[in-house]
Amino acid sequence: MTSDNLQIADVLQTAEDWSQAGRQVALATVIETWGSAPRPTGSHLVIDSDGNFEGSVSGGCVEGAVVAEAVDVIETGRPTTLEFGVADETAWRVGLSCGGRIRVYVEPVN
Protein backbone atom coordinates (compact mmCIF):
# COMPACT_ATOMS: atom_id res chain seq x y z
CA MET A 1 0.00 0.00 0.00
CA THR A 2 1.40 3.43 -0.94
CA SER A 3 1.74 6.35 1.45
CA ASP A 4 -1.20 8.15 -0.23
CA ASN A 5 -3.38 5.04 0.15
CA LEU A 6 -2.47 4.78 3.84
CA GLN A 7 -3.36 8.44 4.38
CA ILE A 8 -6.71 7.95 2.61
CA ALA A 9 -7.47 4.88 4.73
CA ASP A 10 -6.54 6.79 7.92
CA VAL A 11 -8.83 9.72 7.07
CA LEU A 12 -11.72 7.42 6.19
CA GLN A 13 -11.20 5.53 9.46
CA THR A 14 -11.22 8.84 11.33
CA ALA A 15 -14.51 9.77 9.60
CA GLU A 16 -16.02 6.46 10.69
CA ASP A 17 -14.66 6.75 14.24
CA TRP A 18 -15.92 10.32 14.68
CA SER A 19 -19.33 9.43 13.27
CA GLN A 20 -19.65 6.37 15.52
CA ALA A 21 -18.68 8.54 18.50
CA GLY A 22 -21.72 10.72 17.79
CA ARG A 23 -19.93 13.62 16.13
CA GLN A 24 -21.57 15.23 13.12
CA VAL A 25 -19.13 14.77 10.24
CA ALA A 26 -18.56 15.76 6.63
CA LEU A 27 -16.08 14.29 4.18
CA ALA A 28 -14.34 16.39 1.53
CA THR A 29 -12.81 14.54 -1.43
CA VAL A 30 -10.68 15.85 -4.30
CA ILE A 31 -12.67 14.69 -7.33
CA GLU A 32 -10.77 16.42 -10.13
CA THR A 33 -7.47 18.24 -10.67
CA TRP A 34 -5.95 20.24 -13.52
CA GLY A 35 -2.38 21.42 -13.89
CA SER A 36 -0.23 21.66 -10.80
CA ALA A 37 -2.47 20.46 -7.98
CA PRO A 38 -1.12 20.04 -4.44
CA ARG A 39 -3.00 16.79 -3.66
CA PRO A 40 -4.09 13.97 -6.00
CA THR A 41 -7.63 12.97 -6.88
CA GLY A 42 -9.06 10.87 -4.06
CA SER A 43 -7.44 12.86 -1.25
CA HIS A 44 -9.74 13.39 1.74
CA LEU A 45 -10.38 15.81 4.56
CA VAL A 46 -12.78 14.85 7.37
CA ILE A 47 -14.44 17.70 9.28
CA ASP A 48 -16.73 17.75 12.31
CA SER A 49 -19.39 20.33 13.19
CA ASP A 50 -16.95 22.15 15.51
CA GLY A 51 -14.50 22.70 12.63
CA ASN A 52 -11.99 20.06 13.75
CA PHE A 53 -10.41 18.31 10.78
CA GLU A 54 -7.94 15.64 9.69
CA GLY A 55 -6.39 14.96 6.31
CA SER A 56 -5.74 17.29 3.40
CA VAL A 57 -7.26 18.25 0.08
CA SER A 58 -4.75 20.92 -0.84
CA GLY A 59 -1.67 20.75 1.30
CA GLY A 60 -3.03 23.61 3.40
CA CYS A 61 -3.90 26.06 0.62
CA VAL A 62 -7.71 25.91 0.77
CA GLU A 63 -8.47 23.83 3.85
CA GLY A 64 -9.96 26.80 5.73
CA ALA A 65 -12.52 27.46 2.99
CA VAL A 66 -13.34 23.75 2.70
CA VAL A 67 -13.82 23.44 6.49
CA ALA A 68 -16.20 26.44 6.49
CA GLU A 69 -18.24 24.92 3.65
CA ALA A 70 -18.22 21.51 5.35
CA VAL A 71 -19.76 22.97 8.51
CA ASP A 72 -22.58 24.32 6.29
CA VAL A 73 -22.96 20.88 4.66
CA ILE A 74 -23.26 19.29 8.10
CA GLU A 75 -25.93 21.83 9.11
CA THR A 76 -28.00 21.52 5.92
CA GLY A 77 -27.34 17.88 5.04
CA ARG A 78 -26.82 18.95 1.41
CA PRO A 79 -23.56 18.05 -0.36
CA THR A 80 -21.75 20.59 -2.49
CA THR A 81 -18.91 20.77 -5.00
CA LEU A 82 -16.25 23.45 -4.61
CA GLU A 83 -13.75 24.57 -7.22
CA PHE A 84 -10.53 26.43 -6.55
CA GLY A 85 -8.08 27.60 -9.18
CA VAL A 86 -5.39 30.13 -9.81
CA ALA A 87 -7.70 32.15 -12.09
CA ASP A 88 -10.45 32.19 -9.46
CA GLU A 89 -10.46 35.19 -7.10
CA THR A 90 -11.52 32.88 -4.27
CA ALA A 91 -8.46 30.72 -4.86
CA TRP A 92 -6.11 33.67 -4.44
CA ARG A 93 -7.97 34.76 -1.32
CA VAL A 94 -7.57 31.30 0.26
CA GLY A 95 -4.05 30.79 -1.05
CA LEU A 96 -4.16 28.33 -3.99
CA SER A 97 -1.36 29.87 -5.97
CA CYS A 98 0.22 26.64 -7.28
CA GLY A 99 -1.08 27.25 -10.80
CA GLY A 100 -3.56 24.38 -10.85
CA ARG A 101 -7.22 23.89 -10.13
CA ILE A 102 -9.03 21.43 -7.92
CA ARG A 103 -12.64 20.35 -7.49
CA VAL A 104 -13.67 19.12 -4.06
CA TYR A 105 -16.89 17.27 -3.26
CA VAL A 106 -18.12 17.80 0.30
CA GLU A 107 -20.77 15.44 1.70
CA PRO A 108 -22.28 14.70 5.08
CA VAL A 109 -21.36 11.37 6.67
CA ASN A 110 -24.26 9.46 8.18
| Beta strand residue intervals within 1-110, DSSP E | 25-34, 44-48, 53-55, 80-85, 101-109
The full set of domain ranges for the chain reads 3-109
Above 70 in pLDDT, residue 91? no
Question: What pLDDT, on the 0 to 100 scale, is given for residue 1?
Answer: 43
Question: What pLDDT, on the 0 to 100 scale, is given for residue 58?
Answer: 85
- pLDDT tens by residue, 19-78: 999 999 999 999 999 887 788 899 999 999 999 999 999 877 789 999 999 999 999 999
Question: What pLDDT, on the 0 to 100 scale, is given for residue 90?
Answer: 53
CA atoms within 13 A on the CB side of 64: 8
Question: What pLDDT, on the 0 to 100 scale, is given for residue 36?
Answer: 77
Question: What pLDDT, on the 0 to 100 scale, is given for residue 86?
Answer: 59
Question: What pLDDT, on the 0 to 100 scale, is given for residue 22?
Answer: 96
Bridge partner list, 81 = 105
DSSP state of 99: S
